[in-house]
Amino acid sequence: TQQCCKRHERGGSANSRCRKVSLYELAGRARLQEAQARCLGELAVQEISLARLSRPSNVARGTSEVARRTRGAGK
């Protein structure tokens, strides 16, 4: 904001101009954060769908481990 004020020192309404620029900056940052959040959300959805696809093998592995444990406990 300091550069903005120096740039507009000649004009009469430097503060109002600087305020506008900073508001535009904030709007740009908000849009960027929204885009990043949207991208992260899409990645999370993809990870969830991949986890669902890989789940049957995990379930199978889990049941075989349980079977091994129960066989070992009976000895």
Q: CA–CA separation, 61 vs 21, rounded Å?
A: 58
Residue 43 identity: L
Q: List the helix and strand counts (H, then E) for the chain.
A: 2, 0
Question: Tokens 């020192």 identify what position?
Answer: 9
Q: What is the pTM of this model?
A: 0.35
Better-predicted residue by pLDDT, 8 or 51: 51
- For residue range 21-57, what is the model confidence (pLDDT) as tens digits? 566 677 788 888 888 888 888 888 888 888 887 765 5
Closest Cα partner for 20 from 30, 8, 32? 8
In this structure, is the dihedral angle defined by the CA atoms of residues 40, 41, 44 and 45, taken in order, positive or negative? negative
